[in-house]
Amino acid sequence: MTGADPPEISDYGLLSDCHSAALVSSHGSVDWWSLPRFDSPAIFGRLLDPSAGHWSITVAGDHTATRDYVGDSLVLRTVLRTAAGAVAVTDALALRPGSRGHEIGFDAPHTLLRTVEGLDGTVDVAVEVAPRLEYGLTEPRWRRDGPSWVARAGPVGLRLTDDSGLTATGGTLTGRYPVGAGQRIRFRLTFEPPYEPAAWTGLEPSVHDTLEAWHSWAALHRGYRGRYLPAVHRSALVLQGLTYQRSGAVVAAATTSLPEQLGADLNWDYRFAWLRDVSLTMQALWVAACPDEAGRFFDWIADAIGPLGGAPLQIMFGVTGERDLTEHQLDHLAGYRDSRPVRVGNDAWRQRQLDVLGEVLFAAELLRERIGELSDATRELLVSLADQAADSWRLPDSGMWESREHPRHYTSSKVMCWVALDRAVRLAGTLGVPGRAGAWAAARDEIHATVLRRAWCERIGAYAGAFDSDRLDASVLLLPLVGFLPAGDPRMLATIEAVRDRLADGPLVRRWYGDTAAFVACGFWLVECLALAGRVDEAGALFADLLGRGNDLGLFAEEIDPATGRQLGNHPQAFSHVGLINAAWRLTEASAAGGAPRPV
């Protein structure tokens, strides 16, 4: 594929070992794998540059490709069919042998397993293993070590074991051979840092055991019995696949710098955990996973934030709580379809975003039953966040869309400060500070009145995205979802209709007028708003339409271009799948209640 465009973003399937993620195309090429963590440098990076590394398993001549995950897992099986026959390629990032249930992913062997199986006829198969380390900066050299091939360069060591007879040319292993019906060829590529003790030792990982591990996890997470069950279960698996299991942090996406607009510079690194997403993610985990996952996520948040000491709350962290996520550019990479620059790190960590105060307290209130188990330090943290909301809600900020322009008084930020105080009032007794409830309630009510007065715009007949503005913004769809206003409130209904008329193409909703593409999560928010307004049939039709915009595996990137249907942005996007789960749950609840709105 050198010199050619990579496949569409939607062409890629996700593999995960709950430490790192790989993306594999429908035609058998692993074009992304950053290891040993989600935010580590990639050894396969062809997604971002033709020369940045890949591992392809291809068949000669014209062929078709069909694929699916094996049961409730992130083990991917792709059938490649030619005129001469068919082979199946099974791909998995291995889970530790014997790990089951909630333990999966705690101790990853950092191994990519690939198996080629002949189904019928005889098919010529070509294999090319071409790692290019540190985002393509380094080409390793392979050497034989007994039955394995070993490559080392800088901080990276790789060991590939196969039963196919590959040959080495510089930094690339190749092989070509006919595969007949019933024949299997197995490959195992393991990360072995050359200057560190082995990170994992034990039984050799296998596809079978990895499947058993995923299925055991899924068996514990079947509490959801509502509408759109297969899509909800798949999205729950995606969220687990985007969870760094040792800490419980959920990264926003598996990739960096997949563009919001082809050929443009809206390319960001999303391999970190955002507090902006936390309350809706927590709700989705509660619905589609179980309280253990939601509780671990909240415990990670509390540990990552630590004592504030009056400092503003940081909006995002690395998967083990890292704070400094300073952004830099990889100028040697061409970018996905020439979309430059490629960025590593994300300078949004420096921004003030007041909405995160409400996100954390909303999450805590969702976990009310666990509050008694939280430490004194965590209780102090929640009190501090509520006080910060009361003290700082009048300040401008960068907003939930992380504007890199001048700060403004964003409506969603003020509303989430209201959420922080509203939930703090509910939790005051549990947090051991019942005397604070009065002051928090007074600040909450002042925010509510101010939003109703300054966010409403008569000219557009809707709540605007910022105070004293006439710019419509889809973030105002959150108002009913967090309980700020009923969806049936006349002005809220007018706002919902304004979003549908001016920002939406069917179920695809742009964040603002002139946005480059529709933001998938906003479409699911619109579904929720309509369901809460009692318009369940409309909401269901939009949901079904939006569900059909995912790829063949049910995966969603960050955005969809309404004109072409092309998925854009980092992939798969946790927030998109969070939106799917919560919208399915809201439709289920609204249907059960005969269309009556359900309060938050």
Name which residue leads in pLDDT, 353 or 194: 353
Tell me the C-alpha distance between 448 and 419, whole Å: 10
pLDDT at 597: 42
Among 61, 83, 78, which Cα is nearest to 13's?
78
Q: What is the pLDDT of residues 160-191, one digit of tens each?
A: 999 888 999 999 999 999 999 999 999 999 99
pLDDT at 285: 82
Looking up tokens 């933001």 gives 519
Looking up tokens 């099986």 gives 77
And the tokens for 367?
């976990």
- Bridge partners of residue 586, in order along the sequence: none
Q: Cβ distance 463 to 479 under 8 Å? A: yes
Categorize the per-residue pLDDT at 202 as very low, low, confident or very high, splitting at 50, 70 and 90.
low
**Domains of the chain and any CATH numbers:** 9-217 (2.70.98), 221-592 (1.50.10.10)
Q: How many CB atoms lie within 10 A of CB 402?
A: 17
Lowest average pLDDT, out of 192-196, 292-296, 352-356, goes to 292-296
State what percent of residues in the chain have pLDDT above 90. 79
Sort 360 into a burial class: Cβ within 10 Å, 0-12 / 13-18 / 19+.
buried
Backbone φ and ψ for 61, nearest 5 degrees, come out as 80, -175
Tell me the C-alpha distance between 257 and 44, whole Å: 15
DSSP 253: B
Lowest average pLDDT, out of 281-295, 418-432, 532-546, goes to 281-295
Tell me the C-alpha distance between 220 and 214, whole Å: 10
Predicted structure pTM score: 0.95
pLDDT at 110: 94
Name which residue leads in pLDDT, 200 or 58: 58
Tell me the C-alpha distance between 275 and 358, whole Å: 10
Categorize the per-residue pLDDT at 435 as very low, low, confident or very high, splitting at 50, 70 and 90.
very high
pLDDT at 599: 43
DSSP 180: E
* Long-range pairs, 319-324, Cβ under 8 A, ≥24: 319/37, 319/38, 319/39, 319/244, 319/247, 319/249, 319/251, 319/272, 319/273, 320/244, 320/246, 320/247, 320/249, 321/247, 321/249, 323/349, 324/349
pLDDT at 376: 82
Give residue 140's identity as a one-letter amino acid code: P
Lowest average pLDDT, out of 44-53, 58-67, 586-595, goes to 586-595
Tell me the C-alpha distance between 41 and 61, whole Å: 34
Q: Cβ distance 495 to 463 under 8 Å? A: yes
Pairing between β-strand 42-44 and β-strand 54-59 as defined by DSSP bridges:
unpaired
Tell me the C-alpha distance between 123 and 538, whole Å: 48
Categorize the per-residue pLDDT at 39 as very low, low, confident or very high, splitting at 50, 70 and 90.
very high
Half-sphere exposure of 592 (CA within 13 A, CB side): 10
Q: Cβ distance 471 to 465 under 8 Å? A: yes
And the tokens for 249?
């942090």
pLDDT at 155: 87
List of residues 6+ apart from 449 with CB closer than 8 A: none
pLDDT at 1: 38
Instruction: Kindly state the average pLDDT of the residues 301-318.
Output: 87
Flag whether pLDDT at 373 surpasses 80. Answer: no
Q: How many CB atoms lie within 10 A of CB 491?
A: 15
Q: What is the pLDDT of residues 493-526, one digit of tens each?
A: 999 999 999 999 999 999 999 999 999 999 999 9
Tell me the C-alpha distance between 495 and 526, whole Å: 11
Flag whether pLDDT at 308 surpasses 70. Answer: yes
Instruction: Kindly state the average pLDDT of the residues 146-151.
Output: 93
Of 141-150, 160-169, 281-290, 434-443, which has the strongest mean pLDDT?
Answer: 434-443
Instruction: Kindly state the average pLDDT of the residues 27-34.
Output: 97
- Bridge partners of residue 350, in order along the sequence: none
Name which residue leads in pLDDT, 223 or 162: 162
Lowest average pLDDT, out of 128-142, 271-285, 486-500, 564-578, goes to 271-285
Tell me the C-alpha distance between 162 and 156, whole Å: 20
Instruction: Kindly state the average pLDDT of the residues 377-402.
Output: 94
Tell me the C-alpha distance between 427 and 347, whole Å: 33
pLDDT at 499: 98
Backbone φ and ψ for 388, nearest 5 degrees, come out as -65, -40
pLDDT at 198: 65
Helix axes 536-547, 520-532, angle to 10 degrees: 160
Flag whether pLDDT at 214 surpasses 80. Answer: yes
pLDDT at 493: 98
Q: Cβ distance 104 to 214 under 8 Å? A: yes
Q: Cβ distance 499 to 474 under 8 Å? A: yes
DSSP H helical ranges for 503-573? 520-532, 536-547
Tell me the C-alpha distance between 496 and 290, whole Å: 31
- The full 3-state SS of 14-55, as one line of letters, equals EEECCCCEEEEECCCEEEEEECCCCCCCEEECCCCCCCCCEE
Q: Cβ distance 386 to 365 under 8 Å? A: no
Q: Cβ distance 93 to 2 under 8 Å? A: no
Flag whether pLDDT at 211 surpasses 70. Answer: yes
Tell me the C-alpha distance between 139 and 436, whole Å: 60
Q: Cβ distance 385 to 313 under 8 Å? A: yes
Categorize the per-residue pLDDT at 595 as very low, low, confident or very high, splitting at 50, 70 and 90.
low
- The full 3-state SS of 93-138, as one line of letters, equals ECCCCCCCHHHCCCCCCCEEEEEEEEEEEEEEEEEEEECCHHHHCE
Instruction: Kindly state the average pLDDT of the residues 259-265.
Output: 96
pLDDT at 371: 66
Instruction: Kindly state the average pLDDT of the residues 471-491.
Output: 98
Sort 286 into a burial class: Cβ within 10 Å, 0-12 / 13-18 / 19+.
buried
Give residue 125's identity as a one-letter amino acid code: V
Categorize the per-residue pLDDT at 598 as very low, low, confident or very high, splitting at 50, 70 and 90.
very low
Tell me the C-alpha distance between 555 and 339, whole Å: 22
Tell me the C-alpha distance between 139 and 271, whole Å: 24
Instruction: Kindly state the average pLDDT of the residues 476-495.
Output: 98
pLDDT at 46: 98
Tell me the C-alpha distance between 141 and 146, whole Å: 16
Q: DSSP 3-state assignment of 481?
A: helix
Lowest average pLDDT, out of 122-131, 188-197, 439-448, goes to 188-197
Sort 263 into a burial class: Cβ within 10 Å, 0-12 / 13-18 / 19+.
exposed
Categorize the per-residue pLDDT at 377 as very low, low, confident or very high, splitting at 50, 70 and 90.
confident
Q: What is the pLDDT of residues 55-111, one digit of tens each?
A: 999 998 899 999 999 999 999 999 999 999 999 999 999 999 888 887 887 788 999
Q: What does the mean pLDDT of the chain come to?
A: 93
Looking up tokens 């042998």 gives 97
Instruction: Kindly state the average pLDDT of the residues 527-546.
Output: 98
Flag whether pLDDT at 461 surpasses 80. Answer: yes
